Amino acid sequence: MGHAGQQGRGSRSNNLVVPQATAALHQLKMEAAQELGVQIPQDGYYGNYTSRETGSLGGYITKRLVQLAEQQLSGRSNS
């Protein structure tokens, strides 16, 4: 049977609704890649990358997102 029936609902939960969020995440990914010396594939295919490379990208992006959130929260509480 396979997974053909899962194509529609719920299988692509990583799609972002807000275009600005997509652009911001793309920018973070580019910064992470530059910082870590990892080349972002033009076609979006990460199959040739090691788990270590993709994991380090994800970890860097997560760390930056947490930093940004902390900055926003601390900025709000001081005003």
DSSP codes joined into one string, 35-50: HHT-PPPTT---TTS-
Q: What are phi and psi of 34, to 5 degrees?
A: -65, -45
Q: pLDDT (tens digit, 9 = 90+) per residue, 25-72?
A: 888 889 999 988 888 888 888 888 899 988 999 999 999 989 989 998
The pLDDT of residue 15 is 63
User: Residue 67: what pLDDT?
Assistant: 92
pTM of the predicted model over 0.95: no
CB within 8 Å of 70: residues ≥ 6 apart: none
pLDDT at 17: 73
Residue 8 has pLDDT above 70, yes or no: no
Q: What is the DSSP letter of 16?
A: -
pLDDT for 60: 92
Chain centre distance of CA 64: 10
